[in-house]
Amino acid sequence: MKKTITGYHLGDRLDLKELKNNLAYNCIYADPTELMYDAENQSYIGIFDYGSIVFFGIDNSVQTSIINAVRTILNLDSAELKRENFDVEIDAQASYKVIFDRLIIKALSIDIAKIIMLNIAQSVALDYYIEQSNILLNQTYQFSLELEEKGKFSIKGKRLLKYIGRLLNLKNKITQNIYIFDSPNLTWNDEYLNVINTDLSRELDIKLRHSSLQESLSIVRENLEILKDINQHSHSSTLELIVIALIAIEILNLIIDKLL
């Protein structure tokens, strides 16, 4: 028997309490960060507070219906979603194996399904956050290039501060969800679950992409500090010029008074 797992990222945090109260499915597990629903016939739905929804053996039409329901309940935008697929083959005669985008197991349990969905949720979330961090890097790179070529920014003052604020908000949104890449508690006391989690994490490059994301965020953070320093220096220089101009005017007035 083969099951296809499909993960999506909705681009925003999800209010699990609101979803639990409004989604018409059998919730078999709930905690502050995750909901798991039984869709019958060893099919499941996993919803994670950091924005991922994972379908385990669910038809595409049902997936679309559930995503639309989540968007309606939480009033989310209908933007294009990040998506990732993974297959699980369940064969009592086969040996356990992870091959590329496929996991082979002898039997399926709820805990195994949960570990698989968690890894897919993390993977599709990483895709989304890496894309967002690349947007930050590209935007700050344009400022760096402009500074190198022209010696100044094309935007200043309030517009620059708004831009910095937008970058900071996006960076904070990414940082807020970094915790998702920790090992789940479920694997601590079950060696088999730990093996599955470790193998899936390695196959999906979770740690490698997580490290890359952290490095990108560090670069963005450094660039933001430079932008803020330059903006503050520019503001200070403007104040200095104003003070100098006022002093010059005062001196000029004194000279005129003496001449008169």
The topology under which CATH files domain 2-108 is TATA-Binding Protein (3.30.310)
pLDDT at position 239, please? 53
pLDDT of residue 225: 74
Given a contact cutoff of 8 angstroms between Cβ atoms, the answer to whether 11 and 128 are in contact is yes
Mean pLDDT, 10 residues at a time, the chain of 260 residues: 95 93 92 93 94 96 95 89 93 90 93 95 91 83 77 70 75 73 77 92 90 82 74 58 60 60
Smallest Cα–Cα separation from 51: which of 111, 127, 114, 112? 127
Strands 52-56 and 2-9: antiparallel
Host H or E run for residue 197: helix 191-203
Q: What is the DSSP string of 4-59?
A: EEEEEE-SS---HHHHHHH--SEEEEEETTEEEEE-SSS-EEEEETTSEEEEES--
Select from 37, 33, 28, 5 the least CA-distant residue to 17: 33
Q: What is the pLDDT of residue 144?
A: 76
- Sheet with strand 52-56: strands edge to edge: 26-31, 34-38, 44-48, 52-56, 2-9, 82-90, 102-105, 97-99
**235 Cβ partners below 8 Å, 6+ apart?**
157
Distance between CA atoms of 117 and 96, rounded to whole angstroms?
18
